[in-house]
Chain A
């Protein structure tokens, strides 16, 4: 049973970089079947896709966040990470990591395993 667990600081200062890690247990992040993704949810609002990474390091990012986002994978530690630079209060959200099932040209792309989420607040 694959499980995902987010970790990282719960409080980040404006203009600094938000850094989170998602540790995968019960399965290998090297699997060629999956991408690994990040999704966030501001308080009282809907879900927003941030991006995803493959075991090779190949990435896809939300165009609205692309200039500030880096998602990377560390296969030796079986985890993947999110960095979001120059944060503002608008980046305050619950951040989720998830396992992504995908098909050719992303004809299908869905998250079947989710972490419980971690709350990140941007405030001085």
Chain B
């Protein structure tokens, strides 16, 4: 059971916009910023969004992040086949004094 809750799967068609939610609590998302990682099949995770809404250099602006209260969302617009991957949210938990991950969401591009 993950500390952060994500839907196990989402799907969309090319060109569509999809969102992935990440729900936490006052000790984690409620206090700290959220990060999102993309993991393509067979590869290491890649930082996609940091500090809730910042994109590292090289990440397309089709990817955006937001945070409100104890929840966060990742939005992907103009969906492409290469976006098919697992997506994880993560943040620091002040009560656990450690980083916590969501269980991951598998994005399927139909």
Q: Are B101 and A109 in contact, with the CB atoms below 8 A?
A: no
- Check if B56 is an interface residue, CB within 8 A of chain A: yes
Q: Are B96 and A109 in contact (CB under 8 A)?
A: no
Q: Which of A8-16, A19-27, A47-55, A81-89 lies at the interface with chain B?
A: A47-55
**B50–A110 contact, CB under 8 A?**
yes
Cβ A60 vs Cβ B32 within 8 A: no
Q: Which one, A51, A101, A110, A117, contacts B44 given CB within 8 A?
A: A117
B12 within 8 A of A: no
Q: Please determine whether A47 and B51 come into contact, CB atoms closer than 8 angstroms.
A: no
Q: Give the distance in Å from the alpha carbon of A80 to the alpha carbon of B44 in the complex.
A: 19
- The interface stretch among B15-23, B72-80, B87-95 is B87-95
Main secondary structure on A side of the interface with B: strand
Whether a CB of chain B sits under 8 angstroms from the CB of A62 is yes
Number of contacting residues on B, CB 8 A?
30
Which of the four size classes fits the interface of chain A?
Answer: 20 to 34
A115 B44 Cβ-Cβ under 8 A: yes
Q: Do B44 and A109 touch (CB < 8 A)? A: no
Q: Residues of B contacting A60 with CB < 8 Å?
A: 97-98
Contact with B along A54-74 (1 / 0, CB 8 A): 000000111100000000000
Distance of A117 from chain B, by nearest CB (Å): 5
Q: Indicate which residue in B2, B47, B86, B102 contacts A110 across the interface (CB closer than 8 Å).
A: B47
Among A47, A63, A114, A116, which residue has its beta carbon within 8 angstroms of that of B97?
A63
- Type the 1/0 row for A83-111, where 1 means its CB is closer than 8 Å to any CB of B: 00000000000001000010001111111
Q: State how many angstroms separate the Cβ of B63 from the closest Cβ of chain A.
A: 15
Least distance between A114 CB and chain B CB atoms (Å): 4
Q: Are B92's CB and A106's CB within 8 A? A: yes
Minimum Cβ distance to chain A for residue B58 (Å): 11
Q: Does A46 contact B (CB under 8 A)?
A: yes
A49 to B92, CA, bound (A): 11
- Among all A-B residue pairs, the 9 with the closest Cβ atoms: A106-B92, A110-B35, A49-B99, A46-B104, A110-B50, A114-B44, A109-B92, A108-B33, A47-B101
A-B contact pairs, 16 of them (CB 8 A): A46-B88, A47-B37, A47-B90, A63-B98, A96-B45, A101-B50, A105-B94, A107-B32, A107-B92, A109-B92, A110-B35, A110-B47, A110-B51, A111-B37, A112-B50, A116-B43
